[in-house]
Structure 1
């Protein structure tokens, strides 16, 4: 997250984190900002949990109805069910990030956590296995840190363990938005250098004789997410705006990153001695919320990020990249590696998943949809999970959209949200396809305007007429469909999906990704 930090009130101290049951209420809609999804099996059934900023969380058995342990998004912070007394239990994190300081005047900012089960985590008593809760604490757009806490149950409570990445530091005594000294000796870097874990202080991290943090090169240490690669190796991807997003391998026994120690390169990517491998970004181009999913079927890694600013007029939008390796390089449909130069525009990079849109049967537009996570369910279904704002204000809600792999091995997001367990993916015959469609091209810009709704006709002779022209073709005995529109080739999916009306009417829909990084959607009238 970059703008609109929600401030967490200070709390009274207590000696330990007391267990507190999730006393939940059921809600058809839930507001969890920056939702990160995971799942567990309970009594033979997959149960989904989302964790988000502001210490919010929820769970669901069907990804439609949610059980929430709060009535408003920000309540019960003095003895939170996840982290207990944050003033006491996260004091090490806030010694650097600050409390009641700078951009978090009046409280704290706790952002974008991620929870993962690590079977190899080693407790002090010798026990193995823990749910690990990684979070970011911040007071300015650069002075932040990432820490983690552990629990033997997914619902917690979680016990703070360590702070593992810092940002916003300087090489000499200096300040940033307050009277707080940002000298690196006030972080764990002093110990990492003195013990030889990493090489000496890097000149790349600072500017102006060491008085200023180099935000063109170095990241804002927020938005951590973790994943396992094909060899069951654990990784953490993180970062936001500033110098971009980086990745570090994680020691499973301790939860601590394995810092590279020295600077190097990996297939053309910068490997920083402390921050790790730089995957995307730089020069303060917008970008946050990195999330990586490995798909066993395609043997590929998929990196999601969000561009723009999160408020409803900020043009927030999700982008997608793909790699054969967990630590990159990641590329888009143009085979571009998204490590920016000082003259780049981020909108040139990444498959744009969706922009601001509204079909005719929707009573309000989705705006600034982003900071997503994604999951492949136990039955193999891809789901995209994100928060979105709407026309008319800054309120936000979680949405879940099914994704399906297109013929080129890219997960392609369907136009409507997932609305119940009957998910229609039956084959659509050529005769059923023919007809008039509402059509949206999501483009590649970060434009905050609602995208225009067009009309196209898919004709029996495989031509496309109307507001755009081209050709279409469907692969027999499958849901794969391809388009050529104005010399751009798109590969996608055409299925029957339930719309978002009260009646949940079944509609023929298509979604396709173009070799120009654009996504197109169609809904048959």
Structure 2
């Protein structure tokens, strides 16, 4: 949620799957037929020595799902057995009836892409992030490793090469030593026409990869890190980073109040918020209504960046609480919840005290998740009598961590298919620009303090997280999310950078539903 510019310390993270021993490029695999044959490679010219076409870097449409068809086998990339499990092999299929043959090219820097599977919402990578020829292609959570980055090169014959950023090798249809068809990586030939097993055609679909956000209007939709609440009259109050407040009566038109959420600032802020955006700037406000009281949790960033990011210590920031009997105040200062000290002398905190998200569990206990990049996301218990920290000396419980960045957590207690779950949502990657790579990932747990696992079975403390929504069409960098009921419908509340408006931040408000296995998706 709030600005990950405060520090961006990354930690190496690798896939932990055994690398298969595979043969070199060549050979068809699998069975079945396709409706149209793949294009044939361009024939070599007569006479002389030919160098294989290396192609030119290409752009891939991110608004619709694509099918990726091999020029040698005529088959389509899929997930072996339609598996949801992390580490399942990338395979090939003769038809496209399964959604596992759909892929989403998510734009990344340097004209590279994450390739997201539309069944599992994991990304394509290489087993154990290996750099050797013959290492198998597998699916995994988007943990930020470079083996999840791919570049598309368009060939003169209209096909594509798909090159792995980590290994410099090319995706190919292959056979292993037993003759079984596999998808792995291999070197590109230096002479001849090159192996057709490394050439792919991209067959575009027509359906959007994700449901588009509804058209919203008004001066209040320009917002970061949105959270909202609907009062007893049905009026919606929308809170955002930088102390913004807007209202709506219909959930479609949002009007800015033109005044900050909290004003005037509380006296004790003077000694804290002195060097970043002025004393009245607050980040990632999150609202809780209970006992007739509105509890507003918010962050104050004290310094933008630690002077020594290599210390891997949290930036200097704090989370505080204000209360009111009205959703728009006046607010009474309830004080500080938790503070991080950055790399100040004598600092002992490693977490980052930003992005609070309170929730009440099925037993009536109060909790708050918080944190970001440095050492991930944590949960601490709150006192229902005050809304403040119940055990000030207790160490917050770690529930998620990702070396390539994670922040803005939100936990939704929900009974789905007769089972009580705690659904975890968070934003990963850098935010806050017209080319943001923000996206929302999810996991769930049977307990408020975890462990939280993603759909592939990975622990979120080990970089897990199933993609809920990522960049698509004009929706760039969706994130900064909360999940709220509006007029009886569950909504994913988030911001995105609108490519139609030069990357201006806008409010997204999509319906959220659950599939037969109890996992959320955008309706």
State the TM-score, normalized to the length of structure 1.
Answer: 0.53
1:376 paired to 2:496: no
Q: CA RMSD in A?
A: 2.3
Out of 128, 150, 156, which is 2:323 matched to?
150
Q: CA deviation at 1:248?
A: 1.0
Out of 444, 452, 464, which is 1:322 matched to?
444
Out of 507, 512, 515, which is 1:398 matched to?
507
Cα separation, 2, equivalents of 1:227 and 1:287 = 19
- Taking a change above 3 Å as real, the CA distance of residues 28 and 239 of structure 1, as seen in their structure-2 partners, is same
Secondary structure, counterpart of 2:268 in structure 1: helix
Larger radius of gyration: 2
Cα separation, 2, equivalents of 1:378 and 1:353 = 22
Q: CA deviation at 1:241?
A: 0.9
Q: CA deviation at 1:356?
A: 1.4
- Taking a change above 3 Å as real, the CA distance of residues 140 and 94 of structure 1, as seen in their structure-2 partners, is farther
Q: CA deviation at 1:2?
A: 2.3
Q: CA deviation at 1:92?
A: 2.3
Pairing 1:354-503 to 2, within 5 Å after superposition: 354-358=469-473, 365-377=474-486, 379=488, 381-391=489-499, 393-414=502-523
- Taking a change above 3 Å as real, the CA distance of residues 47 and 388 of structure 1, as seen in their structure-2 partners, is same
Asked whether the equivalents of residues 83 and 159 of structure 1 are also in contact (C-alpha less than 8 Å), the reply is no
Cα separation, 1, equivalents of 2:285 and 2:219 = 23
Q: CA deviation at 1:410?
A: 0.9
**Greater relative contact order (CA < 8 Å, ≥ 6 in sequence):** 2
1:140 paired to 2:248: no
- Taking a change above 3 Å as real, the CA distance of residues 169 and 326 of structure 1, as seen in their structure-2 partners, is same
Pairing 1:32-47 to 2, within 5 Å after superposition: 32-42=223-233, 46-47=234-235
Paired positions, count: 298
Out of 306, 317, 328, which is 2:427 matched to?
306
Cα separation, 2, equivalents of 1:295 and 1:234 = 15
Q: CA deviation at 1:398?
A: 0.2
Secondary structure, counterpart of 2:370 in structure 1: strand
Asked whether the equivalents of residues 146 and 224 of structure 1 are also in contact (C-alpha less than 8 Å), the reply is yes
Q: CA deviation at 1:68?
A: 2.2
Pairing 1:10-409 to 2, within 5 Å after superposition: 27=218, 30-42=221-233, 46-70=234-258, 76=259, 80=260, 82-86=261-265, 89=266, 91-96=267-272, 98-99=273-274, 101=275, 104=276, 109-119=281-291, 129-138=292-301, 139-141=303-305, 142-169=315-342, 175=344, 182-183=345-346, 205=348, 218-259=350-391, 261=393, 273-274=394-395, 276-281=396-401, 284-297=403-416, 298-310=419-431, 311-340=433-462, 346=463, 349-358=464-473, 365-377=474-486, 379=488, 381-391=489-499, 393-409=502-518
Cα deviation 1:215-253 (Å, max 9, x = unaligned): xxx221000011111122211111111111111111011
Secondary structure, counterpart of 1:92 in structure 2: helix
- Taking a change above 3 Å as real, the CA distance of residues 140 and 300 of structure 1, as seen in their structure-2 partners, is same
Asked whether the equivalents of residues 219 and 256 of structure 2 are also in contact (C-alpha less than 8 Å), the reply is no
State the TM-score, normalized to the length of structure 2.
Answer: 0.54
- Taking a change above 3 Å as real, the CA distance of residues 52 and 29 of structure 1, as seen in their structure-2 partners, is closer
Asked whether the equivalents of residues 242 and 285 of structure 1 are also in contact (C-alpha less than 8 Å), the reply is no
Q: CA deviation at 1:351?
A: 1.3
- Taking a change above 3 Å as real, the CA distance of residues 4 and 32 of structure 1, as seen in their structure-2 partners, is farther
Cα separation, 2, equivalents of 1:107 and 1:337 = 38
Cα deviation 1:62-90 (Å, max 9, x = unaligned): 321113202xxxxx5xxx4x32222xx1x
Cα separation, 2, equivalents of 1:116 and 1:243 = 26
- Taking a change above 3 Å as real, the CA distance of residues 247 and 332 of structure 1, as seen in their structure-2 partners, is same
Q: CA deviation at 1:281?
A: 0.9
Cα separation, 2, equivalents of 1:155 and 1:309 = 31
Segments of structure 1 that go 5 or more residues without pairing to the other structure are 6-25, 71-75, 120-128, 176-181, 185-204, 206-212, 262-272, 341-345, 359-364, 415-525
Which consecutive aligned stretches of 4+ in structure 1 deviate over 6 angstroms post-superposition? none
Q: CA deviation at 1:144?
A: 0.2
